[in-house]
Amino acid sequence: MKRRRKKLGFGRVRKRTKPVRKSRKKKFRMNLHQLSIVGKWIFKIAVVCLLAFVAVWYFGQQVSTVGDSMNPVLSNGDVVLVNRIVYNATTPKRGDIIVFKPKGNENAHYYIKRIIGLPGETVEIMENHIYIDGEKLEEDYETTDIDDVGIVNEKIQLDGDEYFVLGDNRKSSEDSRNADIGNVKREYIYGKAWFVLSPKKDFGFIR
């Protein structure tokens, strides 16, 4: 009888230990699986946050329009989004609306103007018309007459890193015609204005 009890006791111990070991292995596997899921979620969240940061930094920087020099495209107080990455891949083009600080002055507010003359070109204003390298510039956007040529009373030669800019509302614009602004060097261009965020009536892409 004693031997039977030992065998039964031994059998009971074995029966109890087997499910315990399986349970521990199962829990361990579940923990690894859960950790894997959590790790994937953390990675995805980190990627999304990084992409959001890049998007905001390069495409979502906000600049407020000061004055009506870019009417009718932009109005005073419009909040504009600036594309800061586009000119890392391409060069500014004629007709682009750029954001810059005149002469790199960090204390000045951002100016928003349209590129008229490109590096290496000559710019001349005569009888309310703009001439690039001696040829009349045809513009496909709305502008006002040029009543004041400012410092462009004779032909201007742009250096290899300079751009000549004007506001579309040329009756009320401080631009490359003004000595305080002058030609805009490439390094002073902050980015390209591409979207009006507010007010709602002007909401949309800039053309």
Asked if residue 177 lies in contact with residue 166, where contact means CB atoms within 8 angstroms, the answer is: yes
Helix extents (H) in the chain: 2-59, 86-89
Asked if residue 123 lies in contact with residue 159, where contact means CB atoms within 8 angstroms, the answer is: no
Asked if residue 174 lies in contact with residue 181, where contact means CB atoms within 8 angstroms, the answer is: yes
Q: For strands 79-83 and 189-198, give the pairing.
A: antiparallel
Asked if residue 100 lies in contact with residue 92, where contact means CB atoms within 8 angstroms, the answer is: no
Asked if residue 164 lies in contact with residue 158, where contact means CB atoms within 8 angstroms, the answer is: yes
- DSSP 8-state assignment for residue 195: E
Token pair recorded at residue 78? 């419009």
Known catalytic residue: 69?
yes
Question: Active-site residue among 26, 101, 113, 155?
Answer: 113
Question: Active-site residue among 22, 23, 69, 201?
Answer: 69
Q: Which residues are known catalytic residues?
A: 69, 113
